[in-house]
Chain A
Amino acid sequence: MQASTILLILLGLAIAGGYAWYVSLITRRNEVREAMGSIDVQLRKRFDLLPNIVALAQKFMTHERELLEGLTALRAKVAAPYAKDDPAVVAAHLEASRALETGMMRLFAVAENYPELRSAETVTRAQATFEEVEGNIAAARRFYNSAVTRLNNAVEIFPGSIVARIANVQPFPFYEVEDAAAREPVSVSKLMG
């Protein structure tokens, strides 16, 4: 067999291998997008209750104006469309979601000092929804992190790193719960006393 034929075969194999890796990368990135969508769906279930709670809370929690305004702004940020392909934008979106979750938990904690607010139907319903979707959020987060692990491994391990650079596929951020307390399932009833 001539050297040129062997070279052609090797080149063909390299192209086929590179394409297969490219397909795998795009598939994994789409998995991450899908998982990100699942997280958004679950978080939206929580955050959609926020406007009603804030409207009600403003009547009672006059000293917590800053917290309420902050939550409203965060919700608007989380609800805004974002580029799911851009890891930096996704990281910012996840950060905002995390901040909103923490803020909502703080709101419930502070609401404990306002018995009229605590017993209001809107807040009771929010409490039930919070507990109901907790398991789903944890599951969606695990799905997302699993998809990110698979993508990041493919992107960062040679020769995937070369193919990823050519295809402009970047590693994605994990969606982690930061502090130990937040790792616990949210028990609003506990927060609400």
Chain B
Amino acid sequence: MQGFDAFYESEIAPFIEAKEAERKLVAKCAFRRAAPIVGAGLAGFAFSTGIADEDMRGFALFASAAVIIIGLLQFTALMTWGRQFAEELSAKIFGHFGYRYAPAAPADFLEPFERCHLLPGYSRKTLEDHVAGEAGGVPFELAEAFLERRVKRDKQDDYELVFRGLVARYRFPKRFSGRTILRGDQGLLNALGHAGVPGERVRLEDPQFEKLFEVFSSDQVEARYLLTPAFMERLVALKQVTGEPIQAAFEGEDLLLAIDGRRGYFSQPAVWKDLRGSDHIRRFVEDIALIRGIAETLKLDAETRV
């Protein structure tokens, strides 16, 4: 991350400083608009509790709650401003590293990951922070995915989180004829957990790798061509470096990676707080280092990429 400190001082810090002044204005304006309405609502609420007639009291309480909500809606302007700020800041930081940034990923971005069974079943998805560029000479494209599955709780529909992390595609210089999938080892549940994964099980020589991954492929020889002893070691190292569950696949010309870190990547500061705290920028840059680290750890820039 050489040169980022200088870039931060010359570009990011002044930008955040200016935006902090803007945020204060927007927040003050929103507060000015919201305060009387919320205040009126709260007063109405207090007054309502004293009404003797039950029907009237119920109506008054409902009306007061509605007024409070209308008051709070005045803060949407601040939220919208916060989103725009986050997009501008992301574009600036990613731009510094030569990456292209878009707030949302293409709708079909998850298709190859689903084809390769790298993601759990889900009912709804959110794709954010689409980043594309070259890391160590290797073209890549990634997005942050938030996947939820519909479940029944107390006879009501609810959603539970099944994946929250990065989905990334790194381009290889050659095309694979088969499809090789690396799934996280699930111990005794392997037989059940990997049901439906296409291809035959590939048994590899590295015991440490075998502990972490289960490999399936439509081509036993190609799977071993890709997963050389050196590349297996690099995958083990990557898993140890990130400390997060990783699944991968080789398909077409791409290495697909799904990292279910159960956390937000490229996080942005909250609009309620002072923007000048640099902690979120540090975390942001650490996440960018992860993108580069993957390419470097896996040595994807090597001539053969294996």
| Residues of A bordering B, CB below 8 Å | 34-35, 38, 42, 135-136, 138-140, 142-143, 146, 150
In the complex the two chains form, is A150's CB within 8 Å of B224's CB? no
Query: Which residues of chain A come closer than 8 Å to B205, judged between CB atoms?
Result: 142, 146
19 contacts between A and B (CB under 8 A): A35-B220, A38-B220, A38-B221, A42-B221, A135-B304, A135-B306, A136-B225, A138-B224, A139-B222, A139-B223, A139-B225, A140-B224, A142-B205, A142-B224, A143-B220, A143-B224, A146-B204, A146-B205, A150-B203
Query: Which residues of chain A come closer than 8 Å to B224, judged between CB atoms?
Result: 138-140, 142-143
Assembly CA distance A141 to B197 (angstroms): 25
Assembly CA distance A139 to B177 (angstroms): 15
| Residues of B bordering A, CB below 8 Å | 203-205, 220-225, 228, 304, 306
Assembly CA distance A146 to B222 (angstroms): 14
In the complex the two chains form, is B225's CB within 8 Å of A135's CB? yes
Query: Which residues of chain A come closer than 8 Å to B203, judged between CB atoms?
Result: 146, 150
Assembly CA distance A39 to B222 (angstroms): 12
Q: How far is the CB of B251 from chain A (nearest CB, A)?
A: 18
Q: How far is the CB of A112 from chain B (nearest CB, A)?
A: 24
Assembly CA distance A143 to B306 (angstroms): 17
Assembly CA distance A106 to B205 (angstroms): 31
Q: How far is the CB of B241 from chain A (nearest CB, A)?
A: 26
Chain B residue nearest to A142 (CB atoms) is B224
Assembly CA distance A150 to B200 (angstroms): 15
Assembly CA distance A22 to B58 (angstroms): 79
Assembly CA distance A42 to B225 (angstroms): 12
Query: Which residues of chain B come closer than 8 Å to A42, judged between CB atoms?
Result: 221
Q: How far is the CB of A44 from chain B (nearest CB, A)?
A: 14
Assembly CA distance A139 to B219 (angstroms): 11
Assembly CA distance A34 to B220 (angstroms): 10
Query: Which residues of chain A come closer than 8 Å to B204, judged between CB atoms?
Result: 146
3 closest A-B pairs by beta carbon, nearest first, are A139-B224, A139-B225, A142-B224
Assembly CA distance A42 to B224 (angstroms): 14
Query: Which residues of chain B come closer than 8 Å to A138, judged between CB atoms?
Result: 224-225, 228
Query: Which residues of chain A come closer than 8 Å to B306, judged between CB atoms?
Result: 135
Query: Which residues of chain B come closer than 8 Å to A146, judged between CB atoms?
Result: 203-205
Assembly CA distance A150 to B224 (angstroms): 17
Q: How far is the CB of A159 from chain B (nearest CB, A)?
A: 23
Q: How far is the CB of A28 from chain B (nearest CB, A)?
A: 12
Q: How far is the CB of A183 from chain B (nearest CB, A)?
A: 12
Q: How far is the CB of B217 from chain A (nearest CB, A)?
A: 10
Query: Which residues of chain B come closer than 8 Å to A34, judged between CB atoms?
Result: 220
Q: How far is the CB of A75 from chain B (nearest CB, A)?
A: 22
- Find the residue from B222, B224, B304, B306 having the highest chain A CB count within 10 A: B224
Chain A residue nearest to B203 (CB atoms) is A146
Chain A residue nearest to B220 (CB atoms) is A143
Query: Which residues of chain A come closer than 8 Å to B221, judged between CB atoms?
Result: 38, 42, 136, 139-140, 143
Q: How far is the CB of B210 from chain A (nearest CB, A)?
A: 12
Assembly CA distance A35 to B219 (angstroms): 11
Query: Which residues of chain B come closer than 8 Å to A140, judged between CB atoms?
Result: 221, 224
Assembly CA distance A174 to B224 (angstroms): 17
Q: How far is the CB of A6 from chain B (nearest CB, A)?
A: 32
